[in-house]
Homo-oligomer: A and B are copies of this chain.
Amino acid sequence: MIIVMSRDVTEEQIGVVVKKLQDAGLDANISRGVERTVIGAIGDERKLTEEMFTPLPGVESAMHIVKQYKIVSRESHPQNTVIDISGIPLGGNQIQIIAGPCSVETQQQMDLSAQYVSEAGCRLMRGGAFKPRTSPYTFQGKGVEGLDMFRQAAKKFKLPIVTELMDVRMLDTFLENDVDVIQIGTRNMQNFDLLKEVGRINKPVILKRGMSATISEWLMAAEYIAAGGNHNIIFCERGIRTFETYYRNVLDVTAIPVMKKETHLPVIVDPSHAGGKAWMVAALSQAAIAAGADGLLVEMHPNPSEAWCDADQALTPQELKKLMGVLTGIAAAIGRTL
């Protein structure tokens, strides 16, 4: 940690800072510049918080120089982590496209969806049984019954399933229903009690980025899960909130190379929620894979205009199939496989 002292700092004020560092078990390096004196902490700065120093007299600012995340950082684990999802590898050279409808509606819809997902060449399936909806007056998901329909449909095609957990009290139900991957949604990225609970189990977790979460906050949220013992974490970029109103979110494609640099864990992208319109999904999917994403979480519905939620953004089965073809070419261009 670097502590910048203000212009008119006194020796006594410097002494107080040095004392506080020593009390925490660190040493101090004092650098007296022309306009500012800077105190550097020598030792494990993760024990310190900036606010231990900023309220002290004579302190102008304090800043960490070491990242606050540990287990999830690439510094602690230089090699890519490949996560095994019921036999399907995620995070290796092979890219995984996880497709399926926004929400579970009926057994028939799920059966058809699973068939199309499989036929398109995808090896994992997504679908929501519990839906976080902005309005309390709209469809909130089929709940536990939906989990069962999803499981039934996916089993026929041997597709591991990904579905969202919103409430800590439902975790046991998810485990009993053999959910293969638990998704933490964008609104719950900093629901710390939920993160702690999924940190205690041994299932892969997809952690979506909060809609206005910084890279650092996202990594720290994952650190909550990892600190509990569960290191099977998959990051999912799904678009961030900006001033632009033409589209729902801005897919932050820059986050892909940045996350791949900062963490050893896989990074996937949800192009469907990012844009919010089906006609944008192909372009965004292509961009994500070209930028180095390890996979996609993409919405497909057997009949999009009849979907019970987010009808606007689902691909048709035909569109998904076509997209898989283009993505295969892009994967090859960057030395990967689909």
List residues of chain A with CB under 8 Å of any chain B CB.
Answer: 2, 4, 7, 29, 31-36, 38, 40-46, 49-52, 54-56, 61, 63, 65-66, 68, 75, 132-138, 166-169, 187-188, 190-193, 196, 211-212, 214-217, 220, 223-224, 227, 239-247, 250-254, 256-258, 261, 274-275, 278-280, 283-284, 286-292, 304-305, 307, 309-312, 326, 328-330, 332-334
| Chain B positions within 8 Å of A292 at CB level | 283, 286
Q: Which residue from chain B places its CB closest to the CB of A252 in the assembled complex?
A: B250
| Chain B positions within 8 Å of A54 at CB level | 311-312
Q: Which residue from chain B places its CB closest to the CB of A75 in the assembled complex?
A: B7
| Chain B positions within 8 Å of A46 at CB level | 137
Decide: B135 and A68 in contact? CB cutoff 8 A.
yes
Q: A34-B42, A136-B223 are in contact. Are A192 and B166 (CB under 8 A)?
A: yes
Decide: A138 and B49 in contact? CB cutoff 8 A.
yes
* Additional A-B contacts beyond A40-B40, A137-B227, A254-B284 (9; CB < 8 A): A2-B2, A29-B38, A33-B40, A36-B66, A246-B258, A287-B291, A326-B334, A328-B333, A333-B333
Identical copies of this chain, number? 4
A interface, by DSSP: helix, strand, loop or mixed?
mixed
Question: B45, B50, B215, B247: which contacts A254 (Cβ < 8 A)?
Answer: B247
**A63 and B62 alpha carbons, distance in the complex (Å):** 12
Decide: A167 and B193 in contact? CB cutoff 8 A.
yes
Counting chain B CB atoms within 10 Å of each CB, which of A32, A134, A138, A307 scores highest? A134
**A182 and B4 alpha carbons, distance in the complex (Å):** 38
Decide: B251 and A247 in contact? CB cutoff 8 A.
no
Decide: B215 and A212 in contact? CB cutoff 8 A.
no
A sample of 20 inter-chain contacts (CB < 8 A) reads: A29-B29, A29-B33, A33-B40, A33-B42, A52-B311, A54-B311, A55-B278, A136-B196, A136-B223, A166-B191, A241-B243, A243-B243, A250-B252, A251-B253, A257-B283, A286-B290, A287-B287, A287-B290, A290-B291, A329-B334
Question: B55, B134, B169: which contacts A305 (Cβ < 8 A)?
Answer: B55
| Chain B positions within 8 Å of A328 at CB level | 333
Question: B33, B38, B241: which contacts A212 (Cβ < 8 A)?
Answer: B241
Q: Which residue from chain B places its CB closest to the CB of A44 in the assembled complex?
A: B34
Q: Which residue from chain B places its CB closest to the CB of A330 in the assembled complex?
A: B333
| Chain B positions within 8 Å of A43 at CB level | 33-34
Question: B187, B287, B304: which contacts A55 (Cβ < 8 A)?
Answer: B304
Q: A33-B41, A223-B135 are in contact. Are A51 and B240 (CB under 8 A)?
A: no
Decide: A134 and B168 in contact? CB cutoff 8 A.
no
Decide: A31 and B36 in contact? CB cutoff 8 A.
no
Q: Which residue from chain B places its CB closest to the CB of A47 in the assembled complex?
A: B137
**A10 and B168 alpha carbons, distance in the complex (Å):** 48
**A130 and B43 alpha carbons, distance in the complex (Å):** 30
Q: Which residue from chain B places its CB closest to the CB of A185 in the assembled complex?
A: B190
Question: B167, B193, B284, B332: which contacts A166 (Cβ < 8 A)?
Answer: B193
| Chain B positions within 8 Å of A34 at CB level | 42-44
Decide: A192 and B254 in contact? CB cutoff 8 A.
no
Decide: B29 and A31 in contact? CB cutoff 8 A.
yes
Question: B187, B245, B257, B275: which contacts A280 (Cβ < 8 A)?
Answer: B257
| Chain B positions within 8 Å of A138 at CB level | 49
